[in-house]
Structure 1
């Protein structure tokens, strides 16, 4: 019976639903450790530019520890237990941030330790969670499911970001961050309970000796790993400094940043539905390539984001960010899951995450060094103020384009590219509009006027015989027998 049900088993369905709910709450908790909120938090702790660069890429840098996933798995001999242990390491320390702020303990080293524990623990959670979800989701519906899940996650971001920003603007200084991080801590604790309710199908464990040998023996996945390393190197060079540029150089308020975040979330919500549907049809790699190229152009645009152009370019950035990063967040992950299906998921994810962490470490160190050197430097050209920190955006766009070229070499199923789909749709719509009158001629006809039921039938008679008075007199009642006989005799 279980084999017949397949992916429709009740425990599989429940796990898929719980994963959406847990992801939404975790997203609201994890939001305080990234973006403009963690940048403001780091500034509150008095962090330097180099430390801001490291803190900003901790979630990616923490993937280095995923190489330990096979050891943790071997120790617990159960994915669910390993996931819960990692969740305790990654989510409980978040509660210490508001405590240290309330007590006035503002040490940047302490903040780095707490955020590192959060990042490292949750990185391990992601490994075991991805392994479990790979077994409970139908491979043919992967894009559709994660598209819907990411849509709801974007909705949670859109709802909580304005609240966080309002609190930070309303309560300046440490108090605002105490309230925000306390809320995030409550969300994080609830997610641990939800993870405990996940169902994890039994799986074979693999020893550490097989990890690199198995993964690097897969030539197709080796090409993907080259892309992943360069991509993570590229995004961590400039990633932490977008929020820094907005807060320090452009002097933008948290409220305005939250509005832009909402715009990006709305765009993501709409596009997750689109990407989720078409990625299963044209190939996940096709959508990922479109997103990476778009993110490259977006990074290049930030060279021109200045106090004079911010009012125009920041809304553009928010919309384009929602479009291209929804494609990246959805399809790079689903593309990888498709490549390793049927393999040792823990081993593949661990090696991929480890190499991602190496790329992120190199990118963050390079970005931090460049930012420290360019700090405070600016130049005015034709009345427009440019800041030294914007050189990092140019550097980041160069490496993003390099990653795009490497992604195109990865060999997965690609039926069509996104531009081809777009032009095919536009061509079809154009032809349909031109031929619609011929395809649907009935739409061009006027509806006939309905003849009243009591209207007598009009005959094509000579004018001399068109006297119908006798007919009209008898329409309301039946003729008498004497009248009928008279008419017959007259005729």
Structure 2
């Protein structure tokens, strides 16, 4: 057959879908590199280098979720935009550029301004990110067909986290070899490259038609998620759960680096193991999602996360590194599944036309509690550090065990009723 006979023919839907899924996967490559080198133990390490204390670190870790409140206004504003793609480029690009710009702080500002300027830039960056993230969630929900959603995100997350684990390990070796200013400068070079590359790839995203809300007024649109009792009960429970979880889990790196004096390289290796386990978890949770509901699987991620906190108690009679590796293995299985299934819950168990507001309400409620948790956790660690050396076990593993016990009790009481029944 003459190849010229195909000229002018419309592209097959299946082929277009595969191309869009490929773009969405490739977009994640520079994004995961940037997020890995700027987040996790490297974020904590950079803040310690800038002179931040436990309260500052708790606030920075919390602000990323608190700004999710902005999604409520953004969900209403989204009904009036003509192009989700252009809005996505504006806000996600702003986030990438502002966050990566924090690496210039030690070279531009006096030392006494470092922490304050970082918090300012970081806050603005994540306001952009929360709006861009909601637009991306709405758009990706239309790009990925519902029947392959669980499996696709399982495979995508596995690939990206494999890359992230390499970056984690390499970054840890780098900071151990070049501590302080030199190490962080080298670390930020690939970050700046990836910030630009990630923004450019968004130009290739499809600008799919947007199914708008059936409601015109803000009040009627806002109340829709609160009228869905099943969605609301699950969201309130998950928000309460995250309040307890974020008392300690976001501060794992702080405890390892500052209280247990674990090296950057070892913290990176522990986090790599967590990421590798998470990769396998993504694939398994994704396949299970084809057979079981989002809420049922969400329930079973909770006791695994609780076991991550309880594992710190092994330090009372076992080597510290044994407890840390085991804790992060449970964390990789649990949190990886939780994040993936919570995402599928917001885009799969909600009405398509009202999805932005459902996503916004979920993000706002869980964001407020995830903001409060690390703040309280950081404040409690500050108080615990003033205790005598005889009571140092409380801050190194006792607090984690107490939080894990509460999480386990909450799971098999209220969680069972809300998510399984």
Distance 2:97 2:351 in 1: 32
1:29/1:288 CA distance change after superposition, 3 Å: same
- Please tell me the root mean square deviation across aligned C-alpha atoms, in Å: 2.5
1:211/1:361 CA distance change after superposition, 3 Å: farther
1:260/1:132 CA distance change after superposition, 3 Å: same
Number of aligned pairs? 406
The answer as to whether partners of 2:294 and 2:344 remain within 8 angstroms in 1 is yes
- Greater CA deviation, 349-358 or 364-373? 364-373
Aligned to 1:81: 86
Aligned to 2:68: 63
TM-score, normalization: structure 1?
Answer: 0.76
Aligned to 2:264: 254
CA shift for structure 1 position 101 = 2.0
The answer as to whether partners of 1:64 and 1:356 remain within 8 angstroms in 2 is no
Distance 2:146 2:11 in 1: 12
Q: Given the alignment, which residue of 311, 315, 320 partners 1:301?
A: 311
CA shift for structure 1 position 399 = 5.1
Matched, 1:39 2:47: no
- Greater CA deviation, 180-189 or 389-398? 389-398
Distance 2:238 2:254 in 1: 25
Aligned to 1:127: 134
Q: Given the alignment, which residue of 147, 169, 176 partners 1:162?
A: 169
Distance 1:358 1:199 in 2: 32
- Cα offsets for 1:347-406 (capped at 9, x unmatched): 11111111112112221232222122112435548xxx6143645424532553465344
- Cα offsets for 1:271-301 (capped at 9, x unmatched): 2222211221122323221211110121122
- Greater CA deviation, 155-164 or 310-319? 310-319
The answer as to whether partners of 1:292 and 1:324 remain within 8 angstroms in 2 is yes
Aligned to 1:347: 357
CA shift for structure 1 position 10 = 3.6
CA shift for structure 1 position 7 = 10
SS in 2 for 1:240: helix
Aligned to 1:276: 286
Higher helix share: 2
Q: Provide structure 1 residue ranges, at least 5 long, that are not aligned to the other structure.
A: 415-491
- Greater CA deviation, 71-80 or 58-67? 71-80
The answer as to whether partners of 2:138 and 2:347 remain within 8 angstroms in 1 is no
Aligned to 1:150: 157
Aligned to 2:236: 226
Distance 1:406 1:156 in 2: 37
Aligned to 1:432: none
Aligned to 2:6: none
Aligned to 1:386: 393
The answer as to whether partners of 1:91 and 1:121 remain within 8 angstroms in 2 is no
Distance 1:334 1:408 in 2: 20
Q: Provide structure 2 residue ranges, at least 5 long, that are not aligned to the other structure.
A: 1-9
